[in-house]
A and B are shown apart, each in its own frame.
Chain A
């Protein structure tokens, strides 16, 4: 791994962290920076405001239609973190006095949902964190059992951010509907990758974001089914049907809408082919590897594999020096020095989290990049295993 390796082309396999924005997205945003930069709230003051209002309405329709919703049911936010905060805290505020103070979520949710739930818990709510099985699935019977007459909301993600496992949100939605409980799903990583039609699936709130689909950062949205009791959580102006105050991010919305239009079913197949290729080759060619998450019921863009006896940050750093960007569930990598709560949640131990690497694919990746990384990975893992005290004596590895 010499200097010449450091200047080779960069290959980015961390598309669940952020995606490269599509140039066509930038083109769609451009007019709202330079031509019509007025805000929609100025519609009664001057004509530019009317143009802005009309543009925002059109963009909202695109986003709403992509989920099978009516345009009055979709609000723009700054991203998935804000959307999920609004969903959980907004429902809690609206229903705690009227109905109850119990919320159900899963142990492997992404941080916006998990920490919103914890924040609500501190306000005196009860939160049930459902366990998941070895592949990351929520048990539907456990969910049914957990719902009480005090339950106001179930929040279960559409697909997992780290291991890609896709939940059966249709069944979950039916269970919630039967028990008359609201259902929120964080679809940040599933949006446009796995079909979701709210006219068919009984889900009341859906979190989406632009940054995962080659759209801009800083724009996201929340689908709110008509009639859902939800209380505004941030204070300010009356934008977004008086649900989300703050200046409308019309350039962001334009980019987000364009990104949605550009996501095709052919692309899903391309991503899936890369996912399947890396999983098949790594598991076949590199010994002592474990796939995290379900083999098939997973996001088309996600592969997550544990390389036993070695530590993930060491793998990512070596890969980085070879031109590849990936991420890991290792405690060494996280700012809290804690192992991935997702890998621990699927019954993995620290060792499994420690050596886990997430590969997430996007529009600008090619199959030849996938073919290239496998050999490099094999060499890195082999090298690190010669340094590691684990693996040689298997007895030690089980301590």
Chain B
């Protein structure tokens, strides 16, 4: 039989590690939503003396690459210090899984973000809360680095798909260098909105395809 995934991905898909919730989690986060497709919840327990992740669990409503990435990041993060765990990125996870299909990058990046957000949630709840700064165009560019370009498996910033970003009175305009009828236009639009809309001072996100 042939599968579109590596042996390691299939192994984690069939037997995902650390599945479930942690009742008294120190940090927890859910990334994605049923409307964007996949969804991942990550729960962490932190050893406050050693500043290490003593326990971690995840849940996934997603495809094979989403489930497998959720599983691998729990294995990678368990026992690591908070600072080490923060460094786990999509590339680390993808390499540990023996590679992922490019088109599946956006499904798997969610799990990595779930881990980051759970850590952020832990920090916010434990006196490391950052103040509410007004959003800058720089921050928007930073968030766009989390939006995948399914053509390459890299984000839309690095692949130069973002032509312009404009922020005025809480309204964000993002110009993407693809034709409106492109196969991935709709999914990129959804993902851009997904990443930027949650910012506290953003009212509207308009994505234009101008190629």
Instruction: List chain A positions with a Cβ less than 8 A from chain B.
Output: 1, 6, 118, 309-314, 317, 320-321, 330-333, 335-339, 349-351, 354, 386-390, 397, 399
Asked if A118 and B39 make an inter-chain contact with CB atoms under 8 angstroms apart, the answer reads no
At the interface with chain A, which of B57-65, B76-84, B117-125, B203-211? B57-65
Given A337-B103, A349-B35, A354-B34: A314 and B186 interface contact (C-beta under 8 Å):
no
Asked if A389 and B39 make an inter-chain contact with CB atoms under 8 angstroms apart, the answer reads yes
Q: B152-184 vs A: 1/0 string, CB under 8 Å?
A: 000000000000000000000000000001011
Shortest C-beta distance, A239 to chain B (Å), equals: 32
Chain A residues with CB under 8 Å of B88's CB are none
Given A310-B61, A311-B62: A387 and B35 interface contact (C-beta under 8 Å):
no
Shortest C-beta distance, B22 to chain A (Å), equals: 13
Asked if B187 and A389 make an inter-chain contact with CB atoms under 8 angstroms apart, the answer reads no
Asked if B35 and A317 make an inter-chain contact with CB atoms under 8 angstroms apart, the answer reads no
Asked if A1 and B34 make an inter-chain contact with CB atoms under 8 angstroms apart, the answer reads no
Asked if B67 and A350 make an inter-chain contact with CB atoms under 8 angstroms apart, the answer reads no
Asked if B35 and A313 make an inter-chain contact with CB atoms under 8 angstroms apart, the answer reads no
Chain B residues with CB under 8 Å of A332's CB are 37-38, 62-63, 66, 104, 107
Question: Which label, helix, strand, loop or mixed, suits the secondary structure of the B interface?
Answer: mixed
Question: What CA separation (Å) do A118 and B180 show in the bound complex?
Answer: 13
Asked if A350 and B103 make an inter-chain contact with CB atoms under 8 angstroms apart, the answer reads no
Interface residues of B in 46-80 (CB under 8 A from A): 59-64, 66-67
How many of chain B's residues have a CB under 8 angstroms from any CB in A? 36
Asked if A350 and B37 make an inter-chain contact with CB atoms under 8 angstroms apart, the answer reads yes
Question: What CA separation (Å) do A6 and B1 show in the bound complex?
Answer: 7
Question: What CA separation (Å) do A317 and B64 show in the bound complex?
Answer: 8
Given A311-B38, A337-B103, A337-B150: A388 and B61 interface contact (C-beta under 8 Å):
yes
Shortest C-beta distance, A341 to chain B (Å), equals: 10
Asked if B41 is at the interface (CB within 8 A of a chain A CB), the reply is yes
At the interface with chain A, which of B13-21, B91-99, B136-144, B192-200? B13-21
Asked if A314 and B64 make an inter-chain contact with CB atoms under 8 angstroms apart, the answer reads yes
Question: What CA separation (Å) do A82 and B61 show in the bound complex?
Answer: 38
Chain B residues with CB under 8 Å of A351's CB are 34-35
22 chain-A/chain-B pairs, Cβ below 8 angstroms: A1-B14, A311-B61, A311-B62, A311-B63, A313-B63, A317-B13, A317-B63, A320-B3, A321-B1, A330-B63, A332-B63, A333-B63, A335-B183, A336-B183, A338-B187, A349-B35, A387-B19, A387-B59, A388-B60, A388-B61, A389-B40, A390-B39
Shortest C-beta distance, B71 to chain A (Å), equals: 9
A339-B37, A389-B60, A390-B39 given; name 5 further pairs at CB < 8 Å: A311-B61, A313-B63, A314-B64, A317-B63, A350-B37
Shortest C-beta distance, A149 to chain B (Å), equals: 29
Shortest C-beta distance, A4 to chain B (Å), equals: 13
Asked if B36 is at the interface (CB within 8 A of a chain A CB), the reply is yes
Shortest C-beta distance, A29 to chain B (Å), equals: 28
Shortest C-beta distance, A397 to chain B (Å), equals: 7
Question: What CA separation (Å) do A119 and B199 show in the bound complex?
Answer: 38
Shortest C-beta distance, B7 to chain A (Å), equals: 12
Shortest C-beta distance, A19 to chain B (Å), equals: 21
Shortest C-beta distance, A343 to chain B (Å), equals: 13
